[in-house]
Amino acid sequence: MKVLFMCTHNSCRSILSEAVFNHLAPEGMEAVSSGSFPSGRVNTRAIQTLKAAGIPTEGLSSKASDAFEGSPPDIVITVCDRAAGEACPIFFGPALKAHWGLADPSEATGSEAHIEAAFQQTLSKIQERVNAFISLPIATLSKEDLKTELARIGTL
The pLDDT profile of the chain, 156 residues, written as one tens digit per residue, is: 999 999 888 999 999 999 999 999 999 999 999 988 889 999 999 999 999 999 999 999 999 988 887 888 999 999 987 644 444 555 667 889 999 999 999 999 999 999 999 999 999 999 999 999 999 999 999 999 999 999 999 999
Helix (H) or strand (E) run with residue 13 in it: helix 13-24
Query: Is-contact 106 43, C-beta < 8 A?
Result: yes
Output the CA torsion sign for 92, 89, 40, 16.
negative
Pairing of strands 75-78, 96-99: parallel
In angstroms, the CA 129 to CA 142 distance is 20
Q: Angle at Cα 3 formed by Cα 52 and Cα 65, nearest 5°? A: 95
pLDDT of residue 80: 85
In angstroms, the CA 88 to CA 99 distance is 10
Please state whether the predicted TM-score (pTM) of the whole model is above 0.85: yes
pLDDT of residue 96: 92
pLDDT of residue 92: 67
pLDDT of residue 152: 97
In angstroms, the CA 100 to CA 153 distance is 7
pLDDT of residue 44: 96
Pairing of strands 75-78, 30-35: unpaired
Compute CA 120 distance to the chain's CA centroid, rounded to the nearest angstrom: 15
pLDDT of residue 81: 77
- Quick count: other Cβ atoms within 10 Å of Cβ 99? 18
Angle between helices 44-52 and 13-24 (to 10 degrees): 20
pLDDT of residue 65: 84
pLDDT of residue 105: 95
